[in-house]
Structures are given as structure tokens and as C-alpha cells.
Chains A and B, each alone.
Chain A
Amino acid sequence: MPTGLLERLISRDRGRSQRGNIDWLTVLEDCLDDAETVSLLRQIPSAERRALLAETGREVYRRDLGNFAAELSYNTDFVIASGQLPDFGEQREDHAACLFAGLSDAVDFLTRASGEEHLAATRVDVQGLSHLQPFPQRRGVLLLSVFQSHIGYMAPLLETLGKVALIRKPQGSEGRDYFPQRLLEWRAALEVVPADAAGGMRLFQILRNRGVVGLYNDFLYPDARAVRGLLFGRHVPISRTLLLMIRKTGAVVIPTAIARRLPVEGNEVQVCFFPPLPASLAPEEATETALAIQLSLATECLIRRFPAQWRLWNTLRLRWERGEELP
């Protein structure tokens, strides 16, 4: 086989599963780890970059590139047909636009200078701050969120709270204390805790010392200890450590959303703090089941408020399958 032809065949299969699926979430994430791609994307002005990426997302959806639309349909048809989100069918294209445009925001927040420049050009509307204000320095605070828009939009606010801890599993050869390159310039505001037993202990310590922890409850590492929660009417795994942490430290759980106002090409972002979970206000009285249900409901509400912006729609069925496997 001529070398050129072989190279073409290899390149056609790059990044695809056997069924021809492209895991676009991973492709977009990998772009941030590729120095050449980052360098090229940074040469495009932010607003134009976001518009280009949004249009790319729409075309990926319309043309079902890498089976994106088919996978989205597979993951969301039940939610639409069962009447839980009857209008989501019309928002799928917006979802694709938001998913891809998110890469532009991540590029903007790669350095502090470009992040601040981007923030200066963005209108960040903070809502519900009164739900958060009574707690910092008085109790541990757990900001419960889902994968929507970039956490950088909350950075100025986070800096007023002291360091906010986030959990991240070290990748490949990274050590436990590895601080991701892409978050390096936000080190003054963030602490990155490894997703393991020692990391869990560190989170306990932070919350007991009335610090702030940010957690995504729409994703759980496969090896994490899990109990059954609910999402759109079916079981999904949620972190057992998270439930323990809330009960043992008395941390208050504040659902938090970071979402762009649509269309995604615009320059407005909402940061919303919602009322604390009732069970977390009196954690000593809350059962594990009550907490699990309230965490599940809060997570689903965060998704329902901004469904087009939830980045993990294409993992929903996988999460349901994992939820069913739990004892």
C-alpha cells in the first residue's frame, strides 16, 4: 500500500470509535492540551472565535458529523418523549453551539491576562448572591454545579471567598500534587485536590475550616464510591463521599449555575446562586437518602434551567446504565 494512502486511511480513523462516533467532548478538551491548536485559536479574536466555534457546533449537529446528532438523539429522546423536557428537541442545535463555543471560553481563560480581558468584554450578571452571603467564614460551603459555562466567569467572585477547592483526577503521569497547566494562573483563587482518598480528606479539612469547595454532581469517576441518585427519572451514581462530607462537616450546599445568555455569540453570562438545600441546613438531622434525593433534584434543576448548556447530554444513558448496576 502506498505510504500516502496508508496515512490517509489512518487519519480518517483518528478520533473515531468503531461505529464511527467522534467523542466531541474529548476532542474539544484535547484541543486545550495541544500547544499548536491553542496557539492558532488564540490568534483569533475572542468574539470571532466563539462565533466560529458555535457555527462549527451547529454544522456538526446538522450534518451529524461523527454521529453527534444521532448520539444526542439516543441520549435525549426519552427525556423529550416522556414529557420531562418536551421542548429540548428544538434546543439540540443550541446545545451543539454551546458545547463548541465553550472551547473558546476555555481558551480565553487559559491565562489570567486574557481571562481578565475577556471578563472586561463580558457582562456577568450575578443573581442570588444573598443565598451565599450568610455562610462564608461561618460554615463550610459546597457550591454544587453541573458542567455548563466556564468557571472563570465566577473567578472575581471566587477570589472574594478565599481559595475555592476543586477536585480533579490526575491524568497519566501527573503526580498527586499536579496543578493543571490551564489553571495555573488562577492558583491564587483555586486549590486543586486529587480525586482519591487523600483528596477526600483534604476536602473534609477545608469544609471543617469553613472553606469553600466547588463540585460537579453530574459526573463521577468510575472508581469512586457511589450510591444511587436520580436524574430524569432513572437511577444514576452519585458520590457517597459527597454525602458523607455534607453530613460530617455540616457544610451548606448552594446550587450554582454559570450559563451564557443565548445566542451563544452574545456577551452576557449569568452566575446564579440558588437557595441552600434544606437537608444541608440541618445536616445532623438529614438521612443519607434525603440528602441524595435533594442533591439529585438540585442537579436536575440546574440542568433544566439551562438545558442547552449542559455539556454532558451525550453521557446520560451511560450514567443511567451505571446507576442501574449499583446495589
Chain B
Amino acid sequence: MKTLITGPSCSGKTTLGRSLIGCRLVELDRLDGAAFEEGNGGDCMLEGIPSGSEEEIRRLLASMDQILWLQVPFGMRLHRMIERDGPAALGRFLYNEFAWNRYLAPLLEGNRKVRRLS
């Protein structure tokens, strides 16, 4: 069963992936953000949504059996970002937030495979 774990910055994708897949962090990092390759098959855990065209992302979503959308309040994610990356990463965090809301979240709305986790 192919599962995509996705969500905005600092929503806990890696943490959830690690606990579900039971692999070490280094192994998960290899998968984190990696582009999905057709034919991987089997039980597969992917994280994040790779950058690329909207069409590519739609194809990726269509190929999944389920999609876990992590919904964590903005303030909590901001807190995590500051703890993890320091306040200087604020600009990138805000850009990711904007891009998520503008481009990625709408692609998940109404998708029947999506399960929202908060």
C-alpha cells in the first residue's frame, strides 16, 4: 500500500514517517522529499511533495493508495521551526507556508484518498 505523508513545513512529517516505517533517521532522510519513481511497488512510504509541475504532483497523488495530510496549527509549526532551524530561517518558512497554501493545499482538497491528521 502506497502512502504519502504530506503537510506544510514543520508539521511533523518526518516524525510520523519514522514512527510508522520504523526505520532509522538516516534511512528516512533518503526518502524525504525524494521524487516518486514508478514501479517502486510494495509497501512504500514517501514524504513531502516533490517540487515540480502541478501535473507531476497530480500524477503522484493519483498513484497513491492513501494520503495522510498533517494539519498542525501555524503557531505550533512556527515554534518547531525556530527550535529546529533558528529564527534566521523565518523567510524560508514563510515562503513555504505561502506556497503550501497557494499551490499544494488546493490539490489535496476534495481528494477522497486524503485523511486529515491533526
Residues 51-64 of chain A, each 1 if its beta carbon lies under 8 Å from chain B, else 0? 01101100110110
- Residue A11 contacts which of B75, B78, B85, B91 (CB distance < 8 angstroms)? B85
- Residue A41 contacts which of B74, B75, B87, B95 (CB distance < 8 angstroms)? B95
Counting chain B residues whose Cβ lies within 8 A of the other chain, the interface size class is: 10 to 19
B84 contacts partner chain A, Cβ-Cβ < 8 Å: yes
A24–B87 touching, CB < 8 Å: yes
Take A15-B86, A24-B87, A34-B88 as given contacts and tell me if A53 and B79 are in contact as well, using a CB distance cutoff of 8 Å. Answer: no
Residues 30-49 of chain A, each 1 if its beta carbon lies under 8 Å from chain B, else 0? 11001011101101100011
Take A43-B95, A59-B74 as given contacts and tell me if A22 and B90 are in contact as well, using a CB distance cutoff of 8 Å. Answer: no
A14 contacts partner chain B, Cβ-Cβ < 8 Å: yes
Bound complex: CA A48 to CA B90 (Å): 15
B75–A49 touching, CB < 8 Å: no
Residues 10-29 of chain A, each 1 if its beta carbon lies under 8 Å from chain B, else 0? 01111110000010100100
Set of chain A residues within 8 Å of B21, measured between Cβ atoms: none
A56–B95 touching, CB < 8 Å: no
* Residue of B75, B84, B86, B87 contacting most chain A CB atoms (<10 Å): B87
Set of chain A residues within 8 Å of B84, measured between Cβ atoms: 8, 11-12
A200 contacts partner chain B, Cβ-Cβ < 8 Å: no
A60–B78 touching, CB < 8 Å: yes
Bound complex: CA A61 to CA B86 (Å): 17
Bound complex: CA A63 to CA B77 (Å): 11
A66 contacts partner chain B, Cβ-Cβ < 8 Å: yes
Set of chain B residues within 8 Å of A38, measured between Cβ atoms: 91
List CB contacts (< 8 Å) of A100-134 with chain B: none
Main SS class of interface, A: helix
Chain B residue with the shortest CB-CB distance to A36: B91
A37–B91 touching, CB < 8 Å: yes
Bound complex: CA A113 to CA B7 (Å): 35
Bound complex: CA A266 to CA B92 (Å): 24
Bound complex: CA A32 to CA B115 (Å): 39
Set of chain A residues within 8 Å of B75, measured between Cβ atoms: 59, 62-63
Set of chain B residues within 8 Å of A48, measured between Cβ atoms: 98
B107 contacts partner chain A, Cβ-Cβ < 8 Å: no
B98–A11 touching, CB < 8 Å: no
B94 contacts partner chain A, Cβ-Cβ < 8 Å: yes
Take A43-B95, A44-B98, A49-B98 as given contacts and tell me if A55 and B88 are in contact as well, using a CB distance cutoff of 8 Å. Answer: no
B91–A52 touching, CB < 8 Å: no
A227 contacts partner chain B, Cβ-Cβ < 8 Å: no
A272 contacts partner chain B, Cβ-Cβ < 8 Å: no
A220 contacts partner chain B, Cβ-Cβ < 8 Å: no
B87–A22 touching, CB < 8 Å: yes
A65 contacts partner chain B, Cβ-Cβ < 8 Å: yes
Set of chain A residues within 8 Å of B91, measured between Cβ atoms: 31, 34, 36-38, 40-41
A56–B78 touching, CB < 8 Å: yes
How distant is B63 from chain A, measured CB to nearest CB, in Å? 29
List 14 interface pairs A-B (beta carbons < 8 Å), by A numbering: A12-B83, A14-B86, A14-B87, A16-B86, A22-B87, A27-B87, A34-B88, A37-B88, A40-B91, A43-B98, A49-B94, A52-B94, A60-B78, A65-B78
Top 3 nearest A-B pairs by Cβ distance?
A37-B91, A14-B86, A59-B75
> Residues of B with Cβ closer than 8 Å to A?
74-75, 78-79, 82-88, 90-92, 94-95, 97-98
> Residues of A with Cβ closer than 8 Å to B?
8, 11-16, 22, 24, 27, 30-31, 34, 36-38, 40-41, 43-44, 48-49, 52-53, 55-56, 59-60, 62-63, 65-66
